[in-house]
Structure 1
Amino acid sequence: MGLFSNKIERDQLKPGDHIYSWRTAYIYAHHGIYVGEGKVIHFTVGAGQGSGSGSGSGSGLVVSSSPASPTDNPCPRCGDQSRLSGVMSSCIDCFLSGGSLCLFEYGVSLALFIAKPRGGTCTLAVSDPPEDVLRRAYYLLENGFGVYDVFKNNCEDFAIYCKTGLLVFTSISVGRSGQAASFLAAASAVLSSPLRFLTTSISGLTAVGYGMYCVSRVVSDIGVRRDVRKVPVETLVARAGSDLHESQAVTEMTEAA
């Protein structure tokens, strides 16, 4: 693994690995859990469908990371999954959709985390044993992972939950996704840092902006933030299926855990 690439070969994969593949000119990545025998369990929203936003209503933002097999030439193993949403199982070729195979890293050092120029590739949090990861992934395949939300409940959130069992219990911040946190950190560094007024040089502004970006990424990481709790997957699914308000439901889940 390097600073700029987490690419691995398929023969290096182990069941329970959190993998991802970049989409659309490296703008974002699609994440999932490798379960063995060339299969990946992942959480997605189908082509042409809007992602939820907070309350679960459509936000108008169209995001699709589903396997892009055309309907007239479906994958012989998976069929046409291009318009399916939710937690699904796909072959690794459909999951990658022509992209490179990368391994998400757990338990990295603070120095390596900061040195990584892009969020959504590693975390300070430590992974649970593979058997726990696989049990969560298969359970969610059967029972779902709630409504897809770009910032609070996306494919990376799904994979991180499978790996760690950690759930955010506050309603005022983004989910576990380092990818979403990275985008918000970049915006925060540019627009809201009072330190940007201390310098007018390009190099100074760049240093201040990058420093704020790094700090924002660190404090948002699942491995250090305090608004997370370990929640059993059975409790997660049971509460997600209730009619409780989102924040109340999450609070009750963490209390029950």
Structure 2
Amino acid sequence: MGVLSNKIDRDELKPGDHIYSWRHAYIYAHHGIYVGDGKVVHFTRGAGQEIGTGTVLDRIIFSSSPSHPSDSPCPRCGDQSRQDGVISSCLDCFLSGGNLYLFEYGVNPALFLAKTRGGTCTLASSDLPEYVLHRASFLLQNGFGVYNIFKNNCEDFAIYCKTGLLVISTISIGRSGQAASYLSAFSTIASSPC
């Protein structure tokens, strides 16, 4: 892995890897846990929208669609266009046409500070793959609460699967790099002159 990119090839994937794919011209990334056999367990808000405000603004700013329209569902996953919460998808549906990246764990502080985008690495160490896969399987059956871009998102889900840790902060609006990236992009969009 490098400072500028965590891009990997599919043949490098191992069960228990925390992967992500950038969406909407690198505005945000969607995160999940690769569980093997070409499948990914991930946490989504549904209807192909991993982020958003929950208002009509979502249709304008972050219009998003599943990788397969509901009239032509994926042969492996079926129609997932209306599913939300913790779901299992094939790698192609998870990537939704994007590239594959590996989230890094246990990075040294200098590398962590040198990363240009939040949501690509952490100082925390990963647990063994069998624990990661157990957590992902458990959450697939039992859920991870209600999706919220600022408080409970796909990156939080994947980090919890990898570490068993949930970061709870009363002084910030989010607990992950995903929320920070979203806010940065949204404030740029909102403040850009038309």
Whether the TM-score (by the shorter chain) exceeds 0.5 is yes
Structure 1 residue 84, shift from structure 2 partner: 1.1
Equivalent position of 1:117 in the other structure: 116
Structure 1 residue 73, shift from structure 2 partner: 1.2
Please tell me whether residue 17 in structure 1 is matched to residue 17 in structure 2.
Answer: yes
Give the 3-state SS of the residue equivalent to 1:73 in structure 2.
coil
User: Of the two, which has the highest radius of gyration?
Assistant: 1
Q: How does 1:185-224 map to 2 (within 5 A)?
A: none
Structure 1 consecutive aligned stretches of length 4 or more whose deviation exceeds 2 Å: 47-53, 58-68, 168-176, 181-188
Hey, what's the Cα distance between the residues in 1 that align with 2:141 and 2:46? 18
Give the 3-state SS of the residue equivalent to 2:83 in structure 1.
coil
Structure 1 residue 142, shift from structure 2 partner: 0.2
TM-score norm. by structure 2 comes to: 0.85
Amino acid at match of 2:45: V
TM-score norm. by structure 1 comes to: 0.65
Structure 1 residue 171, shift from structure 2 partner: 3.9
Please tell me whether residue 29 in structure 1 is matched to residue 20 in structure 2.
Answer: no
Hey, what's the Cα distance between the residues in 2 that align with 1:99 and 1:177? 21
The structure, 1 or 2, with the larger RCO (C-alpha pairs under 8 Å, 6+ apart) is 2
Equivalent position of 1:128 in the other structure: 127
Structure 1 residue 47, shift from structure 2 partner: 2.3
Hey, what's the Cα distance between the residues in 2 that align with 1:125 and 1:12? 22
CA deviations over 1:54-76 (Å, ceiling 9, x no partner)? xxxx5666368774210121100
Give the 3-state SS of the residue equivalent to 2:166 in structure 1.
strand
Structure 1 residue 15, shift from structure 2 partner: 0.5
CA deviations over 1:15-51 (Å, ceiling 9, x no partner)? 0000000001110000000000000000001128797
- In 1, are the aligned partners of 2:49 and 2:65 still within 8 Å (CA)? no
Q: How many residues align?
A: 184
Classify 1:114/1:49 alpha carbon distance in 2 versus 1 (closer, same or farther; 3 Å).
closer
Amino acid at match of 2:38: G
Amino acid at match of 2:24: T
Hey, what's the Cα distance between the residues in 2 that align with 1:70 and 1:108? 39
CA deviations over 1:80-109 (Å, ceiling 9, x no partner)? 112211000000000000000000000001
Please tell me whether residue 103 in structure 1 is matched to residue 102 in structure 2.
Answer: yes
Please tell me whether residue 148 in structure 1 is matched to residue 147 in structure 2.
Answer: yes
Structure 1 residue 186, shift from structure 2 partner: 8.8
- Please identify which structure carries the higher helix content: 1
Classify 1:72/1:18 alpha carbon distance in 2 versus 1 (closer, same or farther; 3 Å).
same
Equivalent position of 1:39 in the other structure: 39
- In 2, are the aligned partners of 1:45 and 1:65 still within 8 Å (CA)? no
Hey, what's the Cα distance between the residues in 1 that align with 2:184 and 2:51? 21
- In 1, are the aligned partners of 2:30 and 2:154 still within 8 Å (CA)? yes
Equivalent position of 1:196 in the other structure: none
Equivalent position of 2:190 in the other structure: none
In angstroms, what is the RMSD of aligned CA positions?
Answer: 2.6
Q: How does 1:44-123 map to 2 (within 5 A)?
A: 44-47=44-47, 58=54, 62=58, 67-123=66-122
Structure 1 residue 174, shift from structure 2 partner: 3.7
- In 2, are the aligned partners of 1:160 and 1:176 still within 8 Å (CA)? no
- In 2, are the aligned partners of 1:156 and 1:176 still within 8 Å (CA)? no
- In 1, are the aligned partners of 2:104 and 2:121 still within 8 Å (CA)? yes
Q: Which runs of 5 or more residues in structure 1 are unaligned?
A: 189-257
